[in-house]
Homo-oligomer: A and B are copies of this chain.
Amino acid sequence: MDRIPILRMGPVLLVSIQLDMHDQIALVLQDDLTNAITTHGAKGVLIDISAVSVVDSFMGRMLANIAGIARVLDAITVVVGMQPAVAITLVELGLSLEGVRTALNVEKGMAHLQSVVASAGALSDPGDDADGAD
């Protein structure tokens, strides 16, 4: 079990990080996520880090990398569930997670993503042939 599962929920991919991120697992996640975005045409990536209690510059860089990769593939990344202590540490490390959107929890993150995706027209009438887009 050294692979983080990527859960597909409509146009959004959900990743729940529960393991200590090492080089190898981070690379595999980046790879899997990139494939999943292109395969499913995902419009958003939701990364839950509520189980992460210790953060370092590696983790910060990994999140920024994933957000950067998703962006060039036309998907938005939202990091959710950050523990207060993690937020403090990130800022103290000088990592402000620029380019990464955040939300308090999965529910708010998903709502944000769905509103962004909907306003981009991608969520309009799933199952429709999309020829009646406004």
Contact = CB atoms under 8 A, between A and B. Distances in A.
Nearest to A1: B51
Tell me whether chain A's interface is mostly helix, strand or loop, or mixed: loop
A30 interface: no
A34 to B, nearest CB: 18
Contacts of A20: 1
| Interface range for A | 20 to 34
B16 A107 contact: no
Contact of A106 (B1, B8, B52): B8
A4 B105 contact: no
A3 interface: yes
Interface in A1-26: 1, 3-5, 7-10, 14, 16, 18-20
A62 to B, nearest CB: 16
